[in-house]
Chains A and B, each alone.
Chain A
Amino acid sequence: MSYQFDFLAVAREAPELAAGLARTVELTAVACIAGLLIGIVGAVCRAWQLRPFNTLFAVYVEMFRNTPFLVQLFFLFFGLPTLGIDIAPDSAAMLAMVINLGAYAVEIIRSGIEATPKGQIEAAQALALKRWQIFLHVVLRPALLRVWPAMTSQVVIVMLGSAVCAQISTEELSYAASLIQSRNFRAFETYFVTAGLYLALALLLRQTLLRGGGRLLKRGRP
């Protein structure tokens, strides 16, 4: 075979990759927290059928779960400026990730809330817990605990999906890869190493969220 692999050409660009990786982590962290908040609010509106928000959230969920993330990203980044709203690549990427994850989170958390046994709520009422106490400790926390593995998978999927954000010049990990391969002309090696970094990040993220989230949600419980 005539082709000589040169992974050193990629290793030399480690700082570039590290900077991209940091940006990907940053975007994912914001998406995770904000997406979770949207998910909780939306799930409550859907599960308790609070009008008109339950319908609004239903439309939001269906719209964003049935269109590609890339198109949502383009719509925000290229479409909004025509309405007079200028948006930076980083903000567009962040916004798109938050909205996208939020849509999935609503459905995931809703299924958790709806799985709350009726007897638990009745028992909490019998113990004279206030409404917000019941919601927080009897409904929400167990619901999040139930769906946490699904939520974790979705966060990982959104993190991996963020690789297309380079298309609107957000300087995340895949952007760094594109930049590097345009300098060293080693496209295969560069993307191979970058894919490896994504894989490591995905495994790490999954472990961290599963362990950390589980511990946080179980804290103070017998």
Chain B
Amino acid sequence: MNDFTLGDILLALLHGLQWTAILSLTAFVLGSLGGLIILALRLAHRPALVWLAKTFIEVFQGTPLLMQLFIVFFGLSLGGVEIPPWLAAALGLTLYTSAYLAEIWRGCVNAIPNTQWEGSAALALNRYQQMRHVILPQALRMAIAPTVGFLVQVVKGTSVASIIGFVELTKTGGMLANATFEPFLIYGLVAAGYFLLCYPLSLYSRHLERTLHVAR
């Protein structure tokens, strides 16, 4: 049939899985920073900044991740510079993650009762101090569970990067499936790889949701 043993296949897939994890983490860490910036704009008292943040979120939540990656990939190479797939993938996924996290976190900030703002204003805290010492610590607690939950979406999203040529788990699987003519086995293993990354995160997110709700 072919020269690939199951061991070879598993090893190659494990290598792909590693790149999936690296890309996920990169997008998540940079996306969290981006998300904080968008959140700050969204909560600002300047209509122009709020509009900017809203539009950013709307555009990235309203277009397919694949189109975002294509636009970053082809847009950056317009100047004639060939950019590597990993850079386009990391940048595209970071923007995508920023938009979603900003929106998730905004929901948490909005869920803080108005009396907390009023109370802290009565203590003569300025807006930054209100945020830093009163609102964010409480909002952060609420944000943990949905943020971990969104990490699952990021991990799954990285599979789209295979389409612009980044060799992660899905791409590795595709190449192996072509070489071994065993797509059922290979894609089954690829799916299992993602499940291995995502399921614990899903469980953890659910656990956090339960425990943090009880404590409130």
Contact = CB atoms under 8 A, between A and B. Distances in A.
Interface of A: 1-3, 62-63, 65-72, 74-75, 78-83, 156, 160-164, 167, 174, 177, 187-188, 191-192, 194-195, 198-199, 202-203
Residue from A1, A72, A187 having most chain B Cβ neighbours under 10 A: A187
A96 to B, nearest CB: 12
Given A67-B194, A71-B191, A78 B62 contact: no
Residue from B79, B170, B187, B195 having most chain A Cβ neighbours under 10 A: B187
A167 B163 contact: yes
Residue from A62, A79, A80, A192 having most chain B Cβ neighbours under 10 A: A79
A68 B188 contact: no
B67 to A, nearest CB: 4
Nearest to A160: B64
A67 B191 contact: yes
Interface in B120-161: 152, 156-160
Given A62-B202, A163-B67, A195-B68, A71 B62 contact: no
A70 B202 contact: no
B88 to A, nearest CB: 12
B71 A79 contact: no
Contacts of B157: 68
A203 B55 CA distance: 13
Nearest to A161: B64
Contacts of B74: 187-188, 191
B40 to A, nearest CB: 24
B36 to A, nearest CB: 23
Nearest to A70: B159
Contacts of A65: 152, 198, 202
Contacts of A78: 177, 183-184, 187
B191 A202 contact: no
B159 A68 contact: yes
B184 A83 contact: yes
B65 interface: yes
A187 B70 contact: yes
15 contacts: A1-B79, A66-B198, A69-B159, A70-B159, A70-B162, A75-B187, A78-B184, A81-B183, A160-B64, A161-B65, A163-B65, A164-B66, A187-B70, A199-B63, A203-B62
Contacts of B65: 160-161, 163
Nearest to A200: B62
Interface in B39-73: 58-59, 61-68, 70-71
A163 B66 contact: yes
Range of interface residues on chain B? 35 or more
B62 A75 contact: no
Given A67-B156, A174-B67, A188-B74, A199 B195 contact: no
A2 B80 CA distance: 9
B71 A188 contact: yes
Given A74-B174, A188-B74, A202-B63, A69 B156 contact: yes
Contacts of B58: 199
B75 interface: yes
Interface string B161-176: 0110000001001100
A59 to B, nearest CB: 11
Given A75-B187, A188-B75, A66 B64 contact: no
B159 A75 contact: no
B84 to A, nearest CB: 16
A213 to B, nearest CB: 19
B199 interface: yes
A203 B177 CA distance: 38
Given A66-B202, A70-B160, A198 B191 contact: no
Contacts of A82: 182-184
A62 B203 CA distance: 10
B78 interface: yes
Nearest to B202: A66
B67 A202 contact: no
A208 to B, nearest CB: 14
Nearest to A191: B70
